[in-house]
Amino acid sequence: MAVSTPNTQVKAVARYIRMSPHKVRRVLDQIRGCSYREALIMLEFMPYRACDPVLKVLRSAVANAEHNNGLEPSDLVISEAYADAGPTLRRFRPRAQGRAFQIRKPTCHITIAVSPDAGLDA
């Protein structure tokens, strides 16, 4: 087991998620600063489709912290959570009189960082 300093941050990133970053940020704003256990409960009962990929990234970040840094999952707090815009898929829908309207299908990159609880108190 690796020894970690109190300011250790462990990250996990999910890239190219087929969802608008605006909708993902709505979920991330709710769990930022919460403990791992609180965030799990909140994500379980929120009615948004964005909760599934966010939950997956959160579990990955905690697994990284546990296996790579030897941190205890019950001590972890979500220190950073953000969603950046990824590449936009462009599709075309046929319209009247031979026109084509563009449809944009956004993607996003979700990043979650967890750190030990003692790191945020300082």
Residue 40: give its domain's CATH number. 3.90.470.10
What contacts 24+ positions apart, CB below 8 Å, involve 83-89? Answer: 83/21, 83/24, 83/25, 83/28, 83/108, 83/109, 83/110, 83/111, 84/21, 84/108, 84/109, 84/111, 85/21, 85/109, 86/15, 86/16, 86/17, 86/21, 87/16, 89/18
Is 14 inside any structural domain? no
Is 111 inside any structural domain? yes
**How many domains are contained in the chain?**
1
Q: Looking at residue 110, what is its pLDDT?
A: 97
State yes or no: pLDDT of 21 exceeds 50.
yes
Domain containing residue 34: 20-117
Is 55 inside any structural domain? yes
Average pLDDT, the chain: 91
Is 35 inside any structural domain? yes
Q: Looking at residue 17, what is its pLDDT?
A: 96
Is 83 inside any structural domain? yes
Is 6 inside any structural domain? no
Span 27-46, average pLDDT: 94
Q: Looking at residue 2, what is its pLDDT?
A: 54
Span 75-85, average pLDDT: 95
